Amino acid sequence: MSEGELNRGLEGIRVAETRLSDIDGEAGVLTIGGYPVAELARNATYEESVFLLFEDRLPTASELEEFRSDLAGRRAVGEEVRAVLKRAAEEEKPAMDALRMGAAAANLGAGEEDPEADARRVVAVFPTIVATYWRYRVGETPVEPREDLRHAANYLYMLTGEVPDEAAVQGLETYLNTVIDHGLNASTFTARTVVSTESDVVSAVTAAVGTLKGPLHGGAPGPVLDMLRAVHQSGDPEGYVREKLAAGERLMGFGHRVYRVRDPRAAVLEAAASEFYGDAEFFESITSFEDVAVDLLAEHKPGRELETNVEFYTAALLDGVGVPKELFTACFAVSRVGGWTAHALEQLDDNRLIRPLSAYVGDHDRSWTPVDER
């Protein structure tokens, strides 16, 4: 790029080196911590994935036990945070607003103040914040976290008040591992920018939550589920797609800023949903709809390469394991906080203030006019 040339959205600009994840958008390949996403997603616990991002290696058995225990001991929230979450629920604020409020207060009562401790704290407490808000939202008493349950199992337990079955835990864990990190996306870039000022990890994560809330980043899985249900009920996927395209509307769950082929995370989540989704007829209609939609998008918008993205099967999988659709984006954050914090720590290891330039397009040499002469 020549000096002075404008690049909107910073597309194609490299501003950081990272060992955390690598994306090949042309080939449709995602590597997380050196592992193909499919291999990590189906084999790891979420705690192992977070440890991998933090330490650049998988933990030994004893290290994993220590790490799990440490995270579990950081899960609880105080009455001050509960009061904020209750107020958010009473006012029917969106889950992402509640998560932002809770995240900002995540280090209250946490004791030590250092980047790694803050990173562990926010990873541990995100499920508690989301579940506490949801319990208030549905008129139920919040459920205290259990230190004997794994991260994913404890999250489902706090949502429902019942210990989940292993199939649901495995399904959720697959999702959490699949979306834990994904290059320098908008929310991750935000987190790195905040800590580049030598601010704290909690502030970085709070800003990242606000970024993820936007529908152009993490806000679509809930509406995707509504779309899938509408198509299933109509029994006419072709008619649905043609109607949307004729109206000039975007078909949610298709197309991605980075991938020119099918999102590799869609394949991982499809396989998990096929295993853990209880309604076989509905799942069959989802896969049929995908085939119809991809063909019609190629016909309607030749050359655009609008393949299935991560949101499509996220909706199916999270619905299948019992996560309410109102929490889909917040559940995304419950996973991605592992990536945000790992990026924040990586940024601090070799920090330089992130300070891009802008192109000024305003006037010059204006002369001041007193207010009574305007």
User: Could you confirm whether 311 is annotated as catalytic?
Assistant: yes
CA distance 289 to 305: 17
Q: What is the DSSP string of 138-172?
A: TT-PPPPP-TTS-HHHHHHHHHHSSPPPHHHHHHH
CA distance 281 to 273: 13
User: Could you confirm whether 256 is annotated as catalytic?
Assistant: yes
Query: What length is written for the chain?
Result: 374
Catalytic residue among 173, 311, 343, 346: 311
Catalytic residue among 256, 290, 307, 346: 256
- The CA distances from residue 312 to 122, 163, 216, in Å, are 27, 27, 14
Facing residues of 28 across strands? Answer: none
CA distance 172 to 151: 10
DSSP label of 23:
E
Residues with Cβ < 8 Å from 184, sequence gap 6 or more?
15, 16, 18, 192
- Residues labelled catalytic: 256, 311
